[in-house]
Chain A
């Protein structure tokens, strides 16, 4: 009896995954059934089992560079797809075949026996540029679901792999992936705090600001081009914005006192931030086009750290009006103030989950050190995702299924990612002499390769 039930569940799950693999021939249909795949991630079951075959070199050249490139492609795509939570990466040790150059080479029967849903194979050509041909086959329908040529400068190989991953996610789930996203953060590796950027998995770190002055609290504009931050470079903590693609900088706000903890509204038109120009720390909303400034909070206590709901009609922020820092929500027009957190004597750094907008991540001190926690927007179910060291400044990935944060669990502060469920805590930056803090995740991106 139990066996029967299990069997039925198994079949249902299987048919679910088969549906999503099969419908990919029709992108529109796939997009319509997107909820099915959101369901996969929310439940953590029914993942798409994919086999990533080693890419084969097209030319006759076969040296260490080719070996390295092949490894890098497989490794990057595997970890991207694994990270996305849509996929179950099939272990290479159990591959029935590795050498696949064309459809005729695929042993569909063998793969289907192993419950593999999709197989990725392809070729590459490497000189100072890299050219990749990627093929993705649905095992169930025996049809190609992706056949694409990619080309970039050889130094962009990893990024090109991220593009392939996003294309695979799109074609199999209808969802836009986050494999090409970036993380901006603060590092003191140059001796003073400056803003740096890296790929979402921690690779490709590069310095964005060179202010030679305390520069902190970055936030991406929703277009993905501008990053706002606070810098003391003119003496006062002023708010700036830099276009990271061309390093053009604009000063946004330089009122006396703090101009800090800026958060872009989802439509990219406004910035909510903390000003102390009237002698008290309050939240204001700045219209970045007209320059119009509106005051949102009026309490004589400290109000700071605003974050917007994905619809832009609500703001969560920190206030110590109760005697200790706690998270509150308020309508962006200033009504409906509500206290959200009651557990712990120090809650700060709220960040509203994009997409569904059902959760707010924040830093909470309940065990003497800070943890990354989430709470329902109605104030219920506070759950902490960490339990070691201090864990601060949680920031959601644009798909709302991951959180990046800074933790001192290994000694100095480094960046980590964690699934929204608390699983898969993964360190993405390293360094013994310098610390990395204040991470903020870019919106989805699609790189231009030249």
Chain B
């Protein structure tokens, strides 16, 4: 029984040797493909991508009743507007001063002009050239809101920045 085991081992080993010898003889010689030189890559130096310029958009400022001094909210909006105008050195604007319906039309025309002028002075002090800014007052003639209470009035007491070029 033990002999059978050993002879089987021998046989399988011999077979293994015979077959492996055969396999070696059948190997096909293959010529390696020519080496292609890779195109030289010039790496561009990294630059910050140009930021898309923000579209020129100027925000409206608002005033207290019968006042033409600039509130702190208004000056922060004006700062942004001025920055924006710095980025668009060719832009020219018209500042429109408006009032709510209270008060007389006649006095409100002057008040609207004062509001437009206050905004203009701020922009000039910031460094925007005066000849880029014109002003006009519409008094209470052009409300953006037609209600008869403060929910509308505060929106109508305003200076608007209209881009004319």
Interface of A toward B, CB cutoff 8 Å: 193, 214, 216-217, 232, 235-237, 256-258, 260-261, 274, 276, 279-281, 302-305, 318, 320, 324-325, 346, 348-349, 363, 370, 392-393, 437-438
A257 and B113 contacting across the interface, CB-CB below 8 Å: yes
Q: A276 — which chain B residues lie within 8 A by C-beta?
A: 110, 113, 117, 137
Q: A257-B113, A281-B113 are in contact. Are A237 and B105 (CB under 8 A)?
A: no
Interface size for chain B: under 10, 10 to 19, 20 to 34, or 35 or more residues? 10 to 19
| B110 contacts A392, C-beta separation under 8 Å | no
CA–CA, A117 to B137, complex, Å?
A: 57
A-B contacts, 5 of them at CB < 8 A, read A232-B138, A281-B110, A305-B106, A320-B66, A393-B104
> Which chain A residues lie closer than 8 Å to B135 at the CB level?
257
Q: Is the CB of B137 within 8 A of A237?
A: yes
A363 contacts B104, C-beta separation under 8 Å: yes
Whether the pair B106, A302 counts as a contact (CB closer than 8 A) is no
Closest to B137 in A: A258
Asked if A304 and B105 sit within 8 Å, CB to CB, the answer is no
Within 8 Å of chain A (Cβ to Cβ): is B111?
Answer: yes
A373 to chain B: closest CB distance in Å?
Answer: 13
Chain A neighbourhood of B114, CB < 8 A: 281, 302
Nearest-CB distance from A336 to chain B (Å)? Answer: 23
- Complex Cα distance, B102 from A363, in Å, reads 13
Question: Of B104, B107, B109, B134, which contacts A237 at CB under 8 A?
Answer: B109
- Please measure, in the bound complex, the distance between the C-alpha atom of A155 and the C-alpha atom of B48, giving whole angstroms: 82
Contact with A along B40-80 (1 / 0, CB 8 A): 00000000000000000000000000100000000000000
Contact of A348 among B106, B113, B117 (CB under 8 A): B106
- Of A214, A257, A303, A393, which one neighbours B141 at CB under 8 angstroms? A214
In chain B, positions 89-121 with a C-beta closer than 8 Å to chain A are 103-107, 109-111, 113-114, 117
B84 an interface residue at 8 Å Cβ cutoff?
A: no
- On chain A, the residues within 8 Å of B117 by CB distance are 276, 279-280
Whether the pair A346, B103 counts as a contact (CB closer than 8 A) is yes
Collect the chain B residues with CB atoms within 8 Å of residue A280's CB.
Answer: 117
Taking a contact as CB atoms under 8 Å apart, the answer to whether A304 and B107 are in contact is yes
Q: Is the CB of A260 within 8 A of B106?
A: yes
Per the bound structure, the CA–CA distance linking A232 and B137 in Å amounts to: 10
Chain A residues with Cβ below 8 Å from B110 are: 258, 274, 276, 281, 302-304
B159 → chain A closest CB, angstroms: 14
Q: Which residues of chain B from 116 to 164 have any CB-CB distance to chain A below 8 Å in the complex?
A: 117, 134-138, 141
Give residues in B with beta carbon < 8 Å to A. 66, 103-107, 109-111, 113-114, 117, 134-138, 141
- Bound Cα distance from A217 to B117, whole angstroms: 23
Q: CA A370 – CA B137 in complex, angstroms?
A: 23
Top-5 shortest CB links A-B = A281-B110, A302-B110, A348-B104, A276-B113, A304-B110
Chain A contact residues, majority secondary structure: strand
Is B109 in contact with A318, judged by CB distance below 8 angstroms?
no
The answer, among B105, B111, B134, B138, for a CB contact under 8 Å with A302, is: B111
Q: Given A236-B136, A258-B113, A302-B114, A217–B104 Cβ distance below 8 Å?
A: no
Once the chains bind, are A237 and B136 in contact (CB under 8 Å)? yes
Name the distance in Å between A106's Cβ and chain B's nearest Cβ: 53
Cα-based distance from A320 to B103 in the complex (angstroms) = 12
Given contacts A237-B136, A237-B137, contact A392 B104 (CB under 8 A): yes
Indicate the member of B107, B113, B135, B137 with the most A CB atoms within 10 Å.
B107
Cβ contact within 8 Å between B104 and A216: no
Instruction: Say whether B107 contacts A305, CB under 8 Å.
Output: yes
A-chain residues with CB within 8 Å of residue B111 when the two chains form the complex: 302
Docked complex Cα distance between A370 and B134 (Å): 33
Shortest distance between the CB of B46 and any CB in chain A (Å): 51
User: Is the Cβ of B103 less than 8 Å from the Cβ of A261?
Assistant: no
Name the one of A217, A232, A235, A257 contacting B106, with C-beta atoms under 8 angstroms: A217
* Residues on the B chain within 8 Å of A261, using CB: 106, 109
User: A438 — which chain B residues lie within 8 A by C-beta?
Assistant: 105
Partner of B105, one of A281, A320, A437: A437
- Within the complex, what minimum Cβ distance (angstroms) separates A442 from chain B? 20
Residues on A with beta carbons closer than 8 Å to the beta carbon of B113: 257-258, 276, 281
Besides the known contacts A305-B104, A318-B106, 4 further A-B residue pairs in the complex with CB atoms under 8 A apart: A232-B138, A281-B114, A302-B111, A325-B103
Known: A214-B141, A302-B111. A370 touches B136 (CB 8 A): no
CA distance A42 to B66 in the complex (A): 39
Contact partner, B107, options A193, A256, A302, Cβ 8 Å? A302
Cα(A438)–Cα(B113), bound, Å: 20
B109 and A260: CB pair below 8 A? yes
Residue of A nearest to B135 (CB): A257
B residues less than 8 Å from A302 (CB atoms): 107, 110-111, 114
Quick one: closest A residue to B120, CB to CB?
A: A279
Instruction: Give, as a whole number of angstroms, the nearest-CB distance from B142 to chain A.
Output: 8
Contact A214 B104 (CB under 8 A): no
Min CB distance A126 to B, Å, is 44
Q: Residues of A contacting B105 with CB < 8 Å?
A: 216-217, 392, 437-438
| Beta-carbon nearest neighbor of A281 in chain B | B110
- Residue among B66, B106, B111, B141 having the largest count of chain A Cβ atoms under 10 Å: B106
The CA of A19 and the CA of B104, in the complex, are separated in Å by 47
Q: How far is the CA of A319 from the CA of B154 in the complex (A)?
A: 23
CB distance from A355 to the nearest CB of B (A): 24
